Structure 1
């Protein structure tokens, strides 16, 4: 999945709920690599375009003035993966209470988290998703950490459901 893509220095750049498919065996598959980018060490040849703003890392929406074109990175894929975690674990899209792209962008500029108080998120899940959504991109977990965490979270959800 995403770890295999990142291991090959490929950035998806447009991770959303619509770009994660589930195979017949239940395993996830990534789709829509139309704007993927192969990292070039000195100058990534990718320019961000308007994508699904619910999942877009804030730094892609607000590039520094001296860098008018911001490039997608492994870290921006992790930000998006945090939103996918929210949807997989809790059935809610990031910024689910906002209906328009302009309101979502405004919320991101205001440093408003992609969740609201109506979503009852387990504290350990919330802490991990917040790491994915960190405005300090260096603070975001690696794809391996996200996968390990998701496997543990889904396993514990399955155990809770089967014991009910």
Structure 2
């Protein structure tokens, strides 16, 4: 994953946030007073982080130029999983919910529930494979 960061400007001072993980509303007109960092923005970013964790690729991995990424973000085009990834339909649906318009994104409580379910599933799988390797 580090190779993907070489030659790109993910962190930026001139634009609020890291383009590949930031919600589109952060790039709207500066004179709009209702635009600010919020849990909704964090939820959008969380969806992008889940995508990155599950695919080992940064969002918009097929786009190398940050200016082009910004255009896609502003136009509403969401990242897609890499062709070779095998994201489960449940995970992909949750990621896409995180990218919905601000008012429709999952709540913090829903995110906590999602993470807890995933943690329990991983714990169960670990237990099964550790104590029953032939299963």
Same structural fold, with TM-score higher than 0.5 when normalized by the shorter chain:
yes
Which residue of 80, 89, 93 maps to 2:54?
Answer: 89
Select the structure that is richer in strand: 1
1:130 to 88, 96, 100: 96
Once the two structures are superposed, residues 93-121 of structure 1 have per-residue CA deviations (whole angstroms, 9 ceiling, x without a partner) of 21121122111111112322212451321
- Residue range with higher mean Cα deviation, 65-74 or 137-146: 65-74
Match of 2:75 among 110, 130, 148: 110
Q: Rg larger in 1 or in 2? A: 2
* C-alpha spacing 1:74/1:108, structure 2 compared with 1 (3 Å): same
Q: Would you say how many aligned residue pairs link Structure 1 and Structure 2?
A: 115
TM-score of the two chains, using structure 1 as the length reference:
0.59
Query: Which consecutive residues of structure 2, in runs of 5 or more, have no partner in the other structure?
Result: 1-13
Root-mean-square deviation over aligned CA pairs: 2.7
Distance 2:33 2:67 in 1: 20
Bigger share in helix: 2
Match of 2:7 in 1: none
- Structure 1 consecutive aligned stretches of length 4 or more whose deviation exceeds 4 Å: none
In structure 1, stretches of 5+ residues that fail to align are 1-47
**Equivalences for residues 1-164 of structure 1 within 5 A:** 49-63=15-29, 67=32, 70-116=35-81, 118=83, 119-134=85-100, 136-157=101-122, 159=125, 162=129
